[in-house]
Amino acid sequence: MQILSTKRRIHLVENPMTLDQVTAIVPAAFADYADERVSKKYVFISTKQVYEDMSALGFKAIWAHQRRGKDSPFKKHWIKFFHPDHVIRREDGAITEIFEVTISNSHDGRAGFNLAAGIYRLVCDNGMMALDSDQGKIRLRHMGYSSEELSKMIHDLSAHFPVMLQKIDTMKKRIMTDQEMVTFATNAMKTRWDKEVKIDVNKLIKSIRPEDDQNTLWNVYNRVQEKLVKGQFTTFSGRIVRGLTNVDALVKLNEKLYTQALELCQ
């Protein structure tokens, strides 16, 4: 999975992807029918129709990806959208974070249709940040779909954005102690790897840009999350940690890290 540079990300916010660009990246999203091997109970949910409905609601596509492997016109795919009205700005008007809605779907019967709310910081290249696994995600089985239903789901997710903003504001005000940072980074490593990986936690905690120097929970959470997503640091044995490329694994990691960060707000 390609992780976009900050400048590229800002460019996409200012100049969203066109339909032709999205189609070229995720052709499986625009299948007109499902794989013939799906269950008889399976009801086709057209990602193309969802894309058109999202566009009609004012959302713009800024990222797309489809599962690698066997060349199939029905495989799982993701499209990420943002709405120009759902952004966080500094006092000077510059956008610092954007609220995102990611849709995922497949036409082979192996995955349902999902909507996930998230926030992306433009200052760092931390990939997809899926938040609030309970309140920020909606799953829809392949049993039917309508434009009105999508509009309601988007409304429900959008209503949750102010709640996310309040939680993030709390994280930005919460200063972490040295021990809390070490504990958070240690638990974060366990979230990515089932087995013990010998890594200096200070490499995860260390700030790599001035904007993240202050040890707020929000900054530390993003510093650790970015390192675990991008990799490119070494273990004690000298092995270079690779970045995450599996989108499903990336979503799960982000959900768990966000939950861990929220626990420190209580």
Q: Identify the burial level of 134 via C-beta atoms within 10 angstroms of its C-beta, where 0-12 means exposed, 13-18 middle and 19 or more buried.
A: exposed
Structure tokens belonging to residue 170: 């709390």
CB atoms within 10 A of CB 37: 9
Average pLDDT over residues 59-74: 80
Average pLDDT over residues 62-84: 83
Flag whether pLDDT at 130 surpasses 60: no
Distance separating alpha carbons of residues 142 and 45, to the nearest angstrom: 6
Among 256, 259, 234, 232, residue whose Cα is nearest residue 244: 232
Among 160, 155, 90, residue whose Cα is nearest residue 121: 90
Measured N-to-C along each axis, helices 217-230 and 147-173 cross at an angle, to the nearest 10 degrees, of 120
Residue type, 219: N
Q: What is the pLDDT of residue 128?
A: 52
Give 261's pLDDT tier (boundaries 50, 70, 90).
Answer: very high
For the chain, the domains span 6-164, 174-263
The model's pTM: 0.77
pLDDT per residue over 2-57, tens digit each?
Answer: 444 444 455 567 788 999 999 999 998 998 888 888 877 777 888 898 899 899 98
Distance separating alpha carbons of residues 29 and 23, to the nearest angstrom: 7
Average pLDDT, the chain: 81
Distance separating alpha carbons of residues 173 and 152, to the nearest angstrom: 33
For 41, 152, 163, the CA distances from 159, given in Å and listed in that order, are: 32, 10, 8
Flag whether pLDDT at 163 surpasses 90: no
32-41, 138-147, 183-192, 200-209: which has the minimum mean pLDDT? 138-147
Distance separating alpha carbons of residues 180 and 33, to the nearest angstrom: 51
Flag whether pLDDT at 135 surpasses 70: no
Cα of first residue to Cα of last residue in the chain, in angstroms, is 34
Among 212, 213, 214, 217, residue whose Cα is nearest residue 181: 217
